[in-house]
Amino acid sequence: MQVEDEGIAPPTALIQRRTLHEQVAERIRDMIIEGHLAPGARINEAALVESLGVSRTPLREALRTLAGENLIDIRPSRGSVVRRLTPGDVASMLQVLAELEKLAGRLLCERATSEDVAELQAAHAAMMAHYARRDRLPYYKLNQAIHTRIAQLCGNPVLAEIQSGIQSRLKRIRFIGNRSPEAWANAVREHEEMMEALAARDGARLGEVLARHLMNTWDRVRDVV
């Protein structure tokens, strides 16, 4: 489940070969998500070339990739800027996510194998352990991973792709987002309900909970955007 493999690689693991512009895109993506590149900020190619130690070609290709992900805007001849998310944008994304995850929930209940269910339940249990310790960051990561996994397992690859795209655009917001203890508890309760519905293979209910969960997420983050 999207675990960073920090461990020792098996001897036969294929050695990772990544092109330079891929790595550059990832770095810039992280810089945006973690706020080192502020929304609305102009991206200076020369400065980034300097600090990353690459030439302009891979940097520019990376910028195109990020533009494709809607993380930046490229204005011809006038440089790139980090796209600014308005509250309306965030609400729109959550609304679409809610609709898509509702569909994913329905589909998942129809086709999930027992291994799929077990995997999600394991992730849920781990997340609850983090919640017990009020360990925000790992909780948050598993939370995202569970939603992503539901979309991946539902059998509709297009849905999964769009879901993860929106999710990553929202990452920055949720990363900052700070919840009150009650709001957090509510979110946890919704996750419990999801697991119940999944165990019962109740697609309609799972879809409904997922949609409600995401609409509530809007209330939980609306003041930080």
Partner DNA sequence: TTCTTGCATCTTGCATACGATATGCTTCAT
Partner DNA sequence: ATGAAGCATATCGTATGCAAGATGCAAGAA
* Among DNA, its own copies, none, residue 100 binds (CB under 5-8 Å by kind): its own copies
Question: Between residues 195 and 210, which has the closer beta carbon with respect to its own copies?
Answer: 210
Site for its own copies in 13-42 (CB under 8 A): 17-19, 22
Rounded CA gap, 105 and 201, in Å? Answer: 10
Cβ contacts of 9 within 8 Å, gap of 6 or more: none
Q: Which two tokens stand for residue 212?
A: 């409600």
**Interface with DNA includes 133 (CB under 7 A)?**
no
Q: How far is the CB of 55 from its own copies (least distance, A)?
A: 12
**Interface with its own copies includes 60 (CB under 8 A)?**
yes
Q: Which of 117, 129, 112 is nearest to 188 (CA)?
A: 129
Rounded CA gap, 218 and 97, in Å? Answer: 11
Q: How far is the CB of 140 from its own copies (least distance, A)?
A: 22
Rounded CA gap, 71 and 63, in Å? Answer: 9
What is the SS3 assignment for 177?
coil
**Interface with DNA includes 44 (CB under 7 A)?**
yes
- Of 166, 183, 188, 224, the one binding its own copies by CB under 8 A: 166
Rounded CA gap, 222 and 159, in Å? Answer: 25
Question: Between residues 69 and 208, which has the closer beta carbon with respect to its own copies?
Answer: 69
Tell me the Cα Rg of the chain: 19
Q: How far is the CB of 154 from its own copies (least distance, A)?
A: 10
Q: How far is the CB of 56 from its own copies (least distance, A)?
A: 10
For residues 73 to 112, the per-residue mask of contacts with DNA, x marking binding by CB under 7 A and - elsewhere, is -x-xxxxx--------------------------------
Whether the Cβ atoms of residue 64 and residue 74 lie closer than 8 Å to each other: yes
In 8-63 the beta strands, taken as DSSP E runs, fall at: 42-43
**Interface with its own copies includes 10 (CB under 8 A)?**
no
In the chain the beta strands, taken as DSSP E runs, fall at: 42-43, 72-75, 79-82
Instruction: Please give the residue ranges that form the binding site for its own copies (CB under 8 A).
Output: 17-19, 22, 57, 60-61, 64-65, 67-70, 76-77, 88-89, 92-93, 95-96, 99-100, 102-103, 156-159, 161-162, 166
Instruction: Please give the residue ranges that form the binding site for DNA (CB under 7 A).
Output: 17, 19-21, 42-46, 54-58, 60-61, 74, 76-80
